[in-house]
Homo-oligomer: A and B are copies of this chain.
Amino acid sequence: MNKLVVKFGGTSVATTAHIQRVAARVLKEVEKGNSLVVVVSAMGKTTDQLVHMANELCAEPSKRELDVLLTTGEQVTISLLSIALQKLGLKAQSFTGWQAGIHTETVPSNARIEQIDTQAIERALAEGKVAVVAGFQGVDSNDNITTLGRGGSDTTAVAIAAAIQAQRCDIYTDVEGVYTSDPRYVKNARKIPQLSYDEMLELAHLGAGVLHPRSVELAKNYEMPMSVRSSYCEEEGTMLKEEVQMEKDIVVRGVAFEGDIIRLTVYYEAPYTSSLASIFTTLAKHHINVDIIVQSVIPNMTPTVSFSVKKEQLKEALIILGEHKDTLGFDHIDHEAELAKVSIVGSGMASNPGVAATMFDCLYKEGIPVKMVSTSEIKVSVVIPQEEMLHAANALHEQFDLSILPETIA
């Protein structure tokens, strides 16, 4: 009998009517002869409502108590879904994080799973029950309730799948899978049938928003096949695995983009008087996320270093750098706003050095100026004016023929 872990997010369980639909979907999988663990999130906007109540009492409530509060959200869903499954004639049993044996670090609000004691879940499966597990939550070694931070329910699902050696982990969500680009903005964006974990990680980090990077990392570490698919239709979604079928002649899998990027440029009077690293160490200490870094040291020119930050962190970054001006030894800073980052991602790139050139050429022909560039083995990112973001994304999607479903080599 195949063991599957399936996960349904908050929008899929927003109301009792939604929960009935999820139950029907679970029944279908059971009828195929699968043994199921179902991981669920809190219903719809429940988490927001709970946070709102806490904030009525305190602007910065204790993280421990906030975890106690928020985990009630998934606890409500597991019991209601179990009741709905029983109504359909299935045997079902709910598990909170601690009942499911999900042991985490002692880090309130952002704990990592350390170990899963699968005994209780395995017993339920052996008894022919569907195990319904609360996502996003666990328990630390002192019996404190903890939560796993953003995207935590995806992580719960993958971690349980790895621990019980499931055949697959299916993430049901409100989109049909991972797309070559955002279909709301890019013409002819299409669903990608298969992706490698690394490609998904680049896309996830680049703001594709479908899966949390942590869950993909975990799936990669355990080589757990993972799919992303729609709660609302029968269509196959996107399958993530280590070795994906190579799409013929295709090196670029997707185009990701993200606005509200700021480029900060730090000017030095003379060659650096302190280590360049110290700027980034200082910013990291204050939780400022720096993305692309470009330095320029040209003879007879002012040495500079440029880097991109998110718009909402600009003010704080400027204050922190100003406070450390003397130690860091720079002369002045300026910044350029209203920029965006556009990236192309694909595992095939590593062995196709011409891809970056094709990208720059495409942007040049479209008259889009490139302000910064960053590359990795499997992606190329450029920073461009924000007003050109969708223009660039569409042009690149077209350039790399992403709208055409490619033939695959078996």
Contacts and interface: CB of A to CB of B under 8 A. Distances in A.
Interface of A: 16, 19-20, 50, 53-54, 56-58, 61-62, 64-66, 68-69, 71-72, 75-76, 78-80, 82-84, 86-87, 93-94, 96, 98-99, 120, 143, 145
Given A20-B57, A58-B86, A143-B120, A69 B80 contact: yes
B84 A57 contact: yes
A86 B64 CA distance: 12
Contacts of A69: 75-76, 79-80, 83
A75 B42 CA distance: 15
Contacts of A53: 16, 76, 80
B72 A76 contact: yes
Given A20-B57, A57-B20, A72-B76, A83 B99 contact: no
18 contacts: A16-B53, A50-B76, A54-B79, A54-B80, A54-B83, A57-B87, A58-B87, A61-B86, A62-B82, A62-B86, A65-B82, A66-B83, A68-B75, A68-B78, A69-B80, A69-B83, A72-B72, A120-B143
Given A65-B79, A68-B79, A79-B66, A84 B99 contact: no
B96 A83 contact: no
Given A53-B16, A99-B143, A61 B76 contact: no
Contacts of A75: 68-69, 71-72, 75
